[in-house]
Amino acid sequence: MVQSPTEKPAILAEAARLRALFEAAGAQPVEAPILQPADLLLDLYGEDIRARAFTTSDPLHGEQMLRPDFTVPVVQMHMAGGADPARYTYSGEVFRRQEDDPERAREYIQVGFEVFDGANPARADAEVFAVIARALADVPLRAAVGDIGILIAAINALSTSARRKAALLRHLWRPNRFRALLDRFGAAEPTARRAKLLALDDPFEGAGPEIGLRSRAEVEARLAILRDDANAPPIPAVQVELLDDLMALRAPAPAALSRLQDVAVDMPAIVPAVDLFEARLAALSDQGVDLRSLEFEGSYGRTTMEYYDGFVFGFYAEGRHDLPPVASGGRYDALTRVLGQGRAIPAVGGVIRPDLVLMLGAGT
């Protein structure tokens, strides 16, 4: 998907059109530096982000990353100036490594719309979705929504240790690793490795000299953690099944709400998140969104940026599995708390790729 020089002016013109629509919705235009401090992104996402971003380094500024998106710098800018309600729009290049799919563009333009407002989160979610949907009205796309907040509430409701819950939450955005952990934590019988660990009275008995960077105290502390985990009872099978049902749920939004309400009977901890989902659907309907054609996917958003913690959405070209989402976004309240150093404000936003809008609008 390499752009020719003649395509760039058309993409920039489409970006300007989209940005003007967001400005008409009350957004203030902002900019963000192309180079972002790598330490901030690594603190947020761990080393995984390094595989998805381009990095550079110099003695004066240390390690830097070409911005993988705009949300983090925009949130950082907003929280540095206070946590008052605000709306922003932006456009510019973002940079992503595409080792798994080299045909995808490594540099492309995003146009975004971000809303910081805690007065009515369900209404703000619906507005961001509807504004982006209207901007894409002339392009044949399928919309999908999800809710990371429901999954987070379900994980926090599991009958297991805080350490195991933290591990599941940390790997929620890595489906394969999450599955392996859930299977292990739900296993009724310990693995051979866990059984051997439990049987050790003194793991250092008969060991050779102490070598390596870790001290004996550090090794003992780590072994204590492993023993505690090995001694933890398995997550009840019925809870694992309910969580699996939530992640596998895929249905039109009204039917999905009915199913979520059924699950909430057996898992009351998700009731507030399900109530918020119901309020969001009502707000979407008020915005003119046809709920019957809106697909809910229980696992939607689990392979995107890890700052989403509530409503998530995407717009896709039917039958074009070779293309990424034309638009995507969601709620990221926790990110404002992290970057606001304790101060927080509910926030939701989304981005559109103008190059894909032009491609699909032209029927190519």
Which helix (H) or strand (E) segment holds residue 341: the answer is: none
SS3 for 25? coil
- pLDDT per residue as tens digits for the range 127-152: 999 999 999 999 999 999 999 999 99
Percent of the chain with pLDDT over 90: 60
Residue type at position 173: W
Question: Fold for domain 7-32+67-154+240-362?
Answer: BirA Bifunctional Protein; domain 2 (3.30.930)
Q: What is the pLDDT of residue 2?
A: 45
The residues pairing with 314 across neighbouring beta strands, listed in sequence order, are 144, 328
**Cα–Cα distance, 198 to 332 (Å, whole number):** 40
What are the residue boundaries of the structural domains of the chain, listed by start?
7-32+67-154+240-362, 189-233
Q: How wide is the angle at C-alpha 43 spanned by C-alphas 41 and 48, nearest 5°?
A: 70
Q: How many CB atoms are closer than 10 A to CB 209?
A: 4
Give pTM, 2 decimals.
0.86
Assign 5 a pLDDT band (cuts: 50, 70, 90).
very low
Residue position matching structure tokens 């990221």: 332
